[in-house]
Structure 1
Amino acid sequence: MLQKLLNNKILIAQLFFLIGLLAMVRAFEHQLFYDPFLDYFKGESTLPYPQTDSLRLYLSLFLRYCLNTVISLVILYVVFKDVALVRFSAVLYGIFFVVLLVGFYGCLNYCDESCRMVLFYIRRFLIQPLFILLFLPGFYFQVQSQKK
C-alpha cells in the first residue's frame, strides 16, 4: 500500500514537472520564438497581416511544435507506460503537423485577412499543446475498454 502511494506521488510529481515545462514554453514564448502573430492576434485583428520573415517563422513554429510534442509524448508515456501508444501518438503528431503547416501556409499566402480566424485557430494548434488534451482522455477510454 505504501509503495503504491509512493508510486502515485512520483507519477503526480512527474506530471506536474512536465506540465510546468509546457507552461514555461508558453511563458517564455516571446524570448524563445519568432512569431509576429502573437501581438497581431492580441490587438486589433482587422489590420493587415504583419510582415514576416518566412523562414524564421516556419522554423520557429517547427521548434515550438516539436518542444510541445516531445513534452506531450513524455506525458503520455508517464501516464500509460506504453511505448506502442507513444509511437502511434508520435505518428499522429507528425501527420497533424504537416496538415496544419500546409493549412497555415495556404491561409497566410493565398487568403486575405477575411480568413484571419482560420489562420488564428490553425496557428493555435501549431503553437499550443492542444492535442494532449484530446489524446489523454481518448487513450484512457481506449485502455479502459481493452481491460473489460
Structure 2
Amino acid sequence: MSIMNKLKTFFTMDEEDMYADEEMDTGTPGNGAGQNSQRHNRENVVNLTSIQQPASKVVLYEPRNYNEAQEIADNVVNKRAAVINLQRIDQQQAKRIVDFLSGTVYAVNGDIQKLGDQTFLCTPENVDVSGSITDTLVEEDEFHKGW
C-alpha cells in the first residue's frame, strides 16, 4: 500500500499544495504582487467596441462627364466601394473613366469588376467580393443574333 500512496502523491497534488501555490501567485495585498497581477489582468481585457469596424459603404454613380471620375476615385481611396453606371456617357469618355479608376484601384490594392454591359464595381482593399457574374449578356446576344 505504501507504493500506491507514493504513486498517488507523485501524480497528484494535495489540496494544501494547490492553495499554497495560489497564494504565492496572487500575493498579499500589502506587498504589491497582488496589484501587479490585477494590473496584468486589466491589460488583457479587450473592449469589443474597439474591435468593431464601421460598416462599409457602397456609393452609386452615374457620371455624365469625365470630371466626375475624380469624385468616384476619392470614394475608393476612402475605402468605399463604388458602382458606376456608364450608360449616360459617350463611349470615349466612359473608356477614360474606366482607365482612370483602374489605376486608382490598383494604387489602393483594390479591384475593379465588370457587372454588366456598362456597369462596373470598384472596391478598395478592405472590401471582399465573393462570386462572379458570367458573361451571360454576351451569350444571350449571340443567341438572339442567330435567330
Q: Do they superpose with TM above 0.5?
A: no
Q: Greater helix percent: which structure? A: 1
| TM-score normalised by length of structure 1 | 0.29
Q: Which has the higher contact order (CA 8 A, sep 6+)?
A: 1
Q: TM-score, normalised on structure 2?
A: 0.29
Tell me which protein shows more strand as a share of its residues: 2
